[in-house]
């Protein structure tokens, strides 16, 4: 007898759960390695061969590994700090269960199916999101990826244990379609399952503000060159410009030196996450924030430099495929998202679709992220239908 959604979900639910709430499942951290072992074990139980692509991505094959016309499904195990448990793992658990469902119906696929576990989708450890799928498709230079450092100074190459293999055209050329199932992340879906139309263009920009470190008690207000002040202005201006543009801007990560209560900071490093429905709007938003920040730094007597750490172009998923899958699923809604996904990176190379599972509160990247077992089971059934169709 095959497992139910609730049974299989319960196997991974405790892995990487943080006492303070949510999950800590960074790429190659202990919990993520346990999840990778779980993945191999699930594949083993189903007689599915597992291959690694030299970039940190795992593939479990139903049918011949690297076979012609392969259909890739799956998602990622890694989380943002204290993120929800569904973002990523839902797509992997659902993929194993969808294959169970097809086997229970004695479906014999005409093409191989691969369940992927992509590495470092969130960029929570090494800073660049969708790192595994970018490497696989040649969207990032392997040397550059290898040199990315986490907050403790460990490089991606060190964590991987090798120089990343980079683009694998032999694999990508054999893939006929990609379908990633994911929890919906923005209160945009009011039925159990939807189909993705697009991903907003988005990116991460690092702002380094430098000023003069000094004594908090003795430095006169008029004499200060306070990097925190310029940073604070940038946070407010990013929010305002995003509202005016109908876009999204967030500054949620910050590092301060010396980070002392009684010392004016000499350095503040803040990261801007900006997203918009189209590229011109995103570019105008970031330009406006940078311009206002530079003006303000001039008034504060501080300096600012801005470095794009990753920029992800607008993704329009294959519209014919989305329409066909939506019809196959009984008229499922087709909707865009502001969240990034490996499927977005892969869509530049292969016909790609995404299925979204309803998220009743819309919360994601936070401990309250949730989907009901009933909706997740509906997601599994939808993925099985789609895989049967695509193979």
Contacting residues toward Mn ion, per CB under 5 A: 87-88
* Closer Cβ to ligand GLV, 60 or 339, answer by number: 339
Of 327, 387, 386, 333, the closest CA to residue 358 belongs to: 333
CB of 180 to Mn ion, least distance (A): 9
Based on C-alpha coordinates, what's the Rg of the chain? 22
Residue 59 Ramachandran class (φ > 0 left, ψ -120 to 50 alpha, else beta):
beta
The contact mask relative to ligand GLV for 102-131 (x = CB under 6 A, - = no) is --------------------x------x--
Partner from ligand GLV, Mn ion, none contacting 88, C-beta within 5 to 8 A by type: Mn ion
CB of 360 to ligand GLV, least distance (A): 19
Is 339 a binder of ligand GLV (CB under 6 A)?
Answer: yes
CB of 50 to ligand GLV, least distance (A): 25
CB of 337 to ligand GLV, least distance (A): 8
Which phi and psi (to 5°) does residue 155 adopt?
Answer: -85, 160
Is 340 a binder of ligand GLV (CB under 6 A)?
Answer: yes
* Closer Cβ to Mn ion, 134 or 224, answer by number: 134
Query: DSSP readout, 97-122?
Result: HHHHHHHHTT---SS-EEEEEES-SS
What's the token pair of residue 125? 């450890």
Query: What number of other Cβ atoms are within 10 A of residue 39's Cβ?
Result: 25
Burial class (CB in 10 A: 0-12, 13-18, 19+), 68: exposed
Angle at 286 between CA 284 and CA 288, to 5 degrees: 65
* Closer Cβ to ligand GLV, 168 or 339, answer by number: 339
**Rounded Cα distance, 44 and 53, in Å:** 18
Question: Do residues 174 and 68 make contact, with C-beta atoms less than 8 angstroms apart?
Answer: yes
Partner from ligand GLV, Mn ion, none contacting 129, C-beta within 5 to 8 A by type: ligand GLV
The contact mask relative to ligand GLV for 267-306 (x = CB under 6 A, - = no) is ----------------------------------------
Task: Determine the size of the site formed for ligand GLV (CB under 6 A).
Answer: 4
* Closer Cβ to ligand GLV, 325 or 339, answer by number: 339
Partner from Mn ion, ligand GLV, none contacting 16, C-beta within 5 to 8 A by type: none
Of 63, 56, 98, 61, the closest CA to residue 77 belongs to: 56
Partner from ligand GLV, Mn ion, none contacting 289, C-beta within 5 to 8 A by type: none
Which phi and psi (to 5°) does residue 257 adopt?
Answer: -125, 135
CB of 288 to ligand GLV, least distance (A): 22
Contact set with ligand GLV (CB under 6 A): 122, 129, 339-340
């Amino acid at each position: 007898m095959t497992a139910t959604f609730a049974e299989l979900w319960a196997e991974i639910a405790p892995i990487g759960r943080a006492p303070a709430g949510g999950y800590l499942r960074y790429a190659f951290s202990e919990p993520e390695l346990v999840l990778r072992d779980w993945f191999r074990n699930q594949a083993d139980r189903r007689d599915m061969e597992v291959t690694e692509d030299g970039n940190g991505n795992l593939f479990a094959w139903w049918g011949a590994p690297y076979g012609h016309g392969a259909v890739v499904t799956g998602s990622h195990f890694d989380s943002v700090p204290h993120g929800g448990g569904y973002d990523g793992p839902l797509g992997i658990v659902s993929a194993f269960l969808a294959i169970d469902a097809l086997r229970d119906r004695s479906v014999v696929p005409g093409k191989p199916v691969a369940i992927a576990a992509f590495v470092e989708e969130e960029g929570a450890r090494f800073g660049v999101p969708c790192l595994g799928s970018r490497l696989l498709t040649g969207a990032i230079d392997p040397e550059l990826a290898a040199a990315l450092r986490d907050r403790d100074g460990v490089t991606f190459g060190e964590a991987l244990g090798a120089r990343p293999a980079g683009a694998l055209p032999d694999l990508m050329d054999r893939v006929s379609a990609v379908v990633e199932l994911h929890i919906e992340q923005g209160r945009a879906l009011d039925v159990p399952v939807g189909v993705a139309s697009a991903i907003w263009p988005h990116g991460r920009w690092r702002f380094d503000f430098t000023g003069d470190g000094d004594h908090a008690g003795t430095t006169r207000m008029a004499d200060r060159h306070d990097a925190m002040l310029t940073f604070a202005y940038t946070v407010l201006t990013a929010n305002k410009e995003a509202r005016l543009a109908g876009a999204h801007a967030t500054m949620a990560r910050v590092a301060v030196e010396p980070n002392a209560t009684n010392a004016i900071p000499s350095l503040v490093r803040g990261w801007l996450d900006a997203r918009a429905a189209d590229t011109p709007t995103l570019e105008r938003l970031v330009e406006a924030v940078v311009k206002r920040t530079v003006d303000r730094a001039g008034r504060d007597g501080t300096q600012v430099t801005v470095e794009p750490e990753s920029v992800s172009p607008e993704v329009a998923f294959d519209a014919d495929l989305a329409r066909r899958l939506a019809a196959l699923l009984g008229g499922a809604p087709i909707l865009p998202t502001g969240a990034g996904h490996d499927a977005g990176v892969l869509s530049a190379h292969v016909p790609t679709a995404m299925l979204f599972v309803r998220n009743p509160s819309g919360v994601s990247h936070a401990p309250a992220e949730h989907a009901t077992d009933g909706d997740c089971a509906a997601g599994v059934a939808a993925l099985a239908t789609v895989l049967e169709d695509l193979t």
